[in-house]
Structure 1
Amino acid sequence: MSMQCFSFSSILHNCRLVMGWLRFKESGRTVSCIKNPNTDYPIPVCLEDVEDIVSVAQYILVVEKETVFQRLANDKFCDRNRCIVVTGRGYPDVPTRRFLRYLVEQLCLPVYCLVDSDPYGFDILTTYRFGSTQMAYDAKLMRVPEMRWLGVLPSDFEEFNLPDRCLLNLTPEDKRKVEAMLSRCYLHKKAPQWRTELTMMLHKGVKFEIEALSAISFAFLSEVYIPTKIEHGRHI
């Protein structure tokens, strides 16, 4: 995939989102998320057009899914928490990863990631931090080594006493994917705690989604889980 700008039709089809305490210029036009921190804006496709980025945010939160992003927007999460929220709508594309790395470099903010507790969520998490195995040649240009795993962790299920109805069994394909990821050398060297959680997922043979936290209360994710974990450093 080219590192240059994409076509307009590609922008519409692959629109990724950002919201929060952020303002920047794109092709000379000011994009002010700060005016309404809970309104989503498309992530710039051509990073070379971005300049004059400013923010009063305290951290960056990356969420796997648009449904969770919209849940936070509906809960006015950014009104109560001075942050920037980004979603790549699943596996992040090149513009999302480049923009996220640019934010971290320019703003020097801590960055956290929230994904499903399943093999695909974990794979998305590692793509942000370590780069894509399919694009290893330019991983250094897009990876975010500062990324911290906020949740949802396999160990969260018991810690927060979630009901068993939230659990799904790992499929044979899931198990093969986990076993393949456990063999990645960078997990041994750079993220042993991540590997421990992944091993727990395999041994228990179950997975669950971020939305499982709503079994505690509808607003538990935005009002308790995320703020508490960040405030008390309960991330890995």
Structure 2
Amino acid sequence: MMGSRVAELFSEIDKFRAQLLQNVEVMTECQHVETEICHKEILTRIENVILGVVTSLSKDEAPVLALPNRSSWANVSFDSAIGLQMSSGSSVTSIRSDCASSVTKFARILKILLVIYRLVQSSSYATKRDIYYNNTQLFGSQKTVDGIVDDISSMLKVPRRSLHVLATSKGLISGDLCYLEEDGTRIDCHSSSAAVAVSSNIGGIRNIVSSAKFVLIVEKDATFQRLLDDDFCAKLCPCIIITGKGVPDVNSRLMVRKLWDTLHIPIFALVDADPHGIEIMCIYKYGSVAMSFEAHSLTVPSVMWLGLLPSDLQRLRVPDAALIPLTKRDKSKLDSLLKRPYLASQPDWQKEMELMQQSKVKAEIQSLAAIAPDFLTNIYLPNKLRYGGWV
């Protein structure tokens, strides 16, 4: 069955070649976008990939696609002003059409390329979920589609949002913020009873209005909801809180970057005092290896670690019952973090992480409730922000 679906796909390629040979002009004007890559340029890059496949077929050669390796630290360089970015001479993975282990992925990539081409050409959008349900048998899972879309983005050197493929956001945002969506819908984030879902089209957001003094990135949804329930954004001073509910999705990261670019205010991170929380903060600040090809639009190098600090656990005398011993996996993650290239530029972070190594314990933000139920919102965060002169 998979063989027949691959055959159908190559039939589509033949039709696509005929379309290219007819020299169809795409009359989409280049609009100014963050990436400064216009529709016609994106179409040209896709056409070049397809023409490479067609050329190989015409010579009775097996077509091969070269994808940048998005999982290797060897392909990443560190720039303190940008974060982790993919090196220009990064290694590639060859996806062959004549190899049993890669022919299915080859077919999936071409199918999604054709979908993206039509989306860009018609100035329409689709979600990654739409693409998955376009051919569930070929793709197998939503995760497969998600990975291939990022592979294509990296291969074409085009930010994912410019491919007209949207992802459903999992993040939430609240606070002193209003803006317009691309379709003109006005979004007001001031409500203290319910948060707003982070937009699926950050690039289309405009007319941002806010008097916020800072943005607070919150690692967990539970802590975010607690701040919301306590009306944190209104009690202390005007501010914005946002959560990616753990490891952030691309839209949550894009939103933080958008706010930083637009409002020029401090960005703080509130994460658990454990290796996992620290890594999440590092993703917002420095980026990730997998998305290093989009570092310029995803990272926020000014992010500051507000808490929960390992040193806070001792300073505040958090009860031992609220502390958790580091697991073997935690220790391995901590060792890995300390070897990251960006740690050399953060000696204070390094000291905190070494303190965690020595104490061999970690703690969640919720551990502060062991001191007092309202300690986080009424004492801990206000004192941290006032001590730093931010409020």
- Shift of the 48–116 alpha-carbon distance from structure 1 to 2, 3 Å rule, reads same
Which position in structure 2 is the counterpart of 1:57?
212
The structure whose Rg is larger is 2
- 2:33 alignment partner in structure 1: none
Q: What's the CA shift for 1:196?
A: 1.1
Cα distance change, pair 45–161 in 1 and its aligned pair in 2 (3 A) = same
> Structure 1 residues 88 and 80, CA, compared in 2 at 3 Å: closer, same or farther?
same
Identify the residue that residue 201 of structure 1 maps to in structure 2: 356
Contact 1:62 1:85 in 2 (8 A): yes
1:168-196 CA-to-partner distances (Å, cap 9, x unmatched) read 111111111110110112111x2111111
**Contact kept in structure 2, 1:38 and 1:77, CA below 8 Å:** no
- Equivalent position of 1:15 in the other structure: 170
Matched residues in 2 for 1:168 and 1:53: separation? 41
SS, match of residue 44 in structure 1: coil
1:80 aligns to what? 235
Q: CA deviation at 1:210?
A: 0.1
1:186 and 2:342 are equivalent in the alignment:
yes
Higher relative contact order (CA 8 A, sep 6+): 1
- Give the secondary-structure state (helix, strand or coil) at the position aligned to 1:113: strand
Query: Paired residue for 2:330, among 174, 185, 193?
Result: 174
**Unmatched 5+ stretches in structure 2:** 1-149, 154-159
**2:202–2:255 Cα contact (<8 Å) kept:** yes
Name the SS for the 2:272 alignment partner.
coil
Aligned pairs, number: 229
SS in 2 for 1:24: strand
Map residues 1-236 of structure 1 onto 2, 5 A cutoff: 1=150, 3-4=160-161, 6=165, 10-11=167-168, 14-27=169-182, 28-34=184-190, 36-81=191-236, 82-188=238-344, 190-233=345-388
The one-letter code matched in structure 2 to 1:26 is E
SS of the aligned residue for 1:161 comes to coil
Larger mean Cα displacement after TM superposition, 58-67 or 71-80: 71-80
Q: Label 1:234 to 1:211 Cα distance change in 2 as closer, same or farther (>3 A).
A: farther
RMSD over aligned Cα, in angstroms? 1.5
Counterpart CA distance in 1 for 2:259 and 2:192 is 16
What one-letter code is carried by the residue in structure 2 that aligns with 1:210? I
Task: Give distance in 1, aligned partners of 2:189 and 2:175.
Answer: 6
Say if 2:170 and 2:249, in contact at 8 Å, map to a contact too. Answer: no
**d(CA) in 1 for partners of 2:194, 2:274:** 29
TM-superposed CA distance for 1:141, in Å, is: 1.5
Q: Is the 8 A contact 1:162 1:213 kept in 2?
A: yes
Secondary structure of residue in 2 paired with 1:120: helix
